[in-house]
A and B are shown apart, each in its own frame.
Chain A
């Protein structure tokens, strides 16, 4: 039997909400019975996306809002992280490992690379001045067997 579920969450663009977003996604995917590794992968990818929205999208302005949506369907979790902030001029360039627009702040430029590596699907759509949406998906192995 498939456990289908979804949520939508809006929170202020402040750094204390990074751990909050990680806790929410961890609780949400718990019903899929993920392994520790799968859980860590998802939490890390969400942390990267939310941190990007807060730092790059909104320049840490807590009056702005980040939206996180989650859907569980057929043993997969789909996650959207949406901001209406600065947007990305060149998403291909932004996905290059080590590329960062904020080198002086010790940003590693690894966010997108980590999301790509830790999730099964990853997509970024962005409009300069209009905001950025990250869509990512991960299959949970323990349930995958049931659907094969």
Chain B
């Protein structure tokens, strides 16, 4: 399994697992896109705690979903990025446009979701 996706009021939590490289990028993208097809999905929280490896292919997947979230007026929040992934997100400038949080709980309260 590459991702576990949970729906909340008006968004989804995507818990990425294992390795997100070019080999898995298309599968991960369609998993998230399928979950985003429900019309009430506006916000996406990306939890990277269980992600073992990611390279620039993952940057492409995250940036692609960010654009979709933005297009429907939602917010994307990334949490639990490890040191290497943090550097990737920083180098690629993603942290200039995408918010980050310590954990899912903080992400959800920042989205004002009642849980």
Contacts and interface: CB of A to CB of B under 8 A. Distances in A.
Contact of A110 (B25, B64, B91): B91
B59 interface: yes
Give the size range of B's interface with the partner: 20 to 34
Nearest to A111: B56
Interface stretch (A1-9, A14-22, A71-79): A14-22
Contacts of A54: 22
A16 B23 CA distance: 6
A29 to B, nearest CB: 15
Contact of A51 (B55, B61, B91, B93): B55
**Do most interface residues of chain B lie in helix, strand or loop, or is the interface mixed?**
helix
B22 A108 contact: no
A77 to B, nearest CB: 17
B88 A44 contact: yes
Nearest to A17: B23
Give the size range of A's interface with the partner: 20 to 34
A15 B23 contact: yes
Interface in B49-75: 53, 55-57, 59-61, 63-64
Contacts of B63: 106, 108
Interface of B: 19, 21-23, 25, 29, 53, 55-57, 59-61, 63-64, 83-84, 87-88, 91-93
